[in-house]
Amino acid sequence: DFVMTQSPDSLTVSLGERATINCKSSQSVLSTSDNRNYLAWFQQKPGQPPKLLIFWASTREPGVPDRISGSGSGTDFTLTISSLQAEDVAVYYCQQYYGAPITFGGGTKVEIK
């Protein structure tokens, strides 16, 4: 199984500052057949379902603000919020969908300083 390890577990950032979340996979999620990384990022606010932010490691879901971006390849990935806003307070999860079982990282809680 793919083990997804996120860091840090929690992050406190001032409004307008950068937030960076890391995700490491125990195996590569880069497909050699289509050269795509099978890695997604989700945002979850209290009492709400997960919301897809990023797929293919760096493709933003329509409607997601461009201050949120994804990068990385193979086993190491990053979600960056370039200028943290109040509405970004949430828990963020990475997820690999390269193969079953689909697996999520443990989550990173982002709060305002």
Partner 1 sequence: EVQLVESGGGLVQPGGSLRLSCAASGITLSRDWMTWVRQAPGKGLEWVANIKEDGSGKSYVDSVKGRFTISRDNAKKTVFLQMNSLRVEDTAVYYCGSGSGWHFDLWGRGTLVTVSS
Q: Is 9 left (phi over 0), alpha (psi -120 to 50) or beta?
A: alpha
How many whole angstroms separate alpha carbon 101 and alpha carbon 38?
A: 13
What are the C-alpha distances in Å from 74 to residues 10, 52, 67?
A: 24, 20, 23
* x-or-dash string of contact with partner 1, 42-61, rule CB under 8 A: x-x---xxxxx--xx----x
Q: Which of 25, 37, 43, 95 binds partner 1 (CB under 8 A)?
A: 95
Measured from the CB atom, the residue of 83 and 89 that comes closer to partner 1 is 89
Site for partner 1 in 73-92 (CB under 8 A): 91
Q: How far is the CB of 55 from partner 1 (least distance, A)?
A: 4
Burial class (CB within 10 angstroms; exposed 0-12, middle 13-18, buried 19+) of 28: middle
Number of residues that bind partner 1 (CB under 8 A): 24
Q: Is position 67 an interface residue for partner 1 (rule: CB under 8 A)?
A: no
Binding site for partner 1 (CB under 8 A): 38, 40, 42, 44, 48-52, 55-56, 61, 91, 93, 95, 97, 100-107
